[in-house]
Amino acid sequence: MTVTTTKGQDLTVEGLTVHYGGVCAVRNLSLAVPAGDAVGVIGANGAGKTSTLKAVMGLIPRTVGSLRFGSTDLSRVNARQMVRHGIGYVPEGRHVFAGLPVEKNLLLGAYARKWNADTRATLAEVYELFPVLGEMSGRLAGALSGGQQQMLAIGRALMSRPRLLLLDEPSMGLSPKLVEDILAVLQRLRAEGLSLLLVEQNAKLTFEATSRCLVVENGEVAMTGTSEQLRHDPQVRRIYLGL
46 is a site residue for ligand ATP (CB under 6 A): yes
Question: Of these, 23, 76, 99, 242, which contacts ligand ATP (CB under 6 A)?
Answer: 23
88: left (phi over 0), alpha (psi -120 to 50) or beta: beta
Query: In terms of CB distance, is 20 or 111 closer to ligand ATP?
Result: 20
What phi and psi, each to the nearest 5 degrees, are found at residue 142? -65, -20
117 is a site residue for ligand ATP (CB under 6 A): no
Q: How far is the CB of 24 from ligand ATP (least distance, A)?
A: 8
Q: How far is the CB of 106 from ligand ATP (least distance, A)?
A: 25
48 is a site residue for ligand ATP (CB under 6 A): yes
Query: In terms of CB distance, is 40 or 48 closer to ligand ATP?
Result: 48
Note whether 182 and 171 are within 8 A (CB): yes
d(Cα 151, Cα 231) in Å, to the nearest integer? 27
Question: Of these, 11, 13, 16, 25, which contacts ligand ATP (CB under 6 A)?
Answer: 25
Query: In terms of CB distance, is 137 or 201 closer to ligand ATP?
Result: 201
CA angle 124, 125, 131 (to 5 degrees): 80
148 is a site residue for ligand ATP (CB under 6 A): no
Candidates 31-39, 47-55, 73-81, 112-120 — which segment interacts with ligand ATP by CB under 6 A? Answer: 47-55
Report DSSP state, residue 29.
E
Query: In terms of CB distance, is 88 or 91 closer to ligand ATP?
Result: 91
What phi and psi, each to the nearest 5 degrees, are found at residue 164? -135, 130
9 is a site residue for ligand ATP (CB under 6 A): no
Q: Which of 89, 29, 86, 91 is nearest to 62 (CA)?
A: 29
50 is a site residue for ligand ATP (CB under 6 A): yes
Q: How far is the CB of 169 from ligand ATP (least distance, A)?
A: 7
Q: 10 Å Cβ neighbour count for 23?
A: 9
Angstrom distances, CA of residue 234 to CA of 164, 170, 193, 241? 31, 26, 32, 10
Q: 10 Å Cβ neighbour count for 159?
A: 24
Sites of contact with ligand ATP (CB under 6 A): 20, 23, 25, 43, 45-51, 201
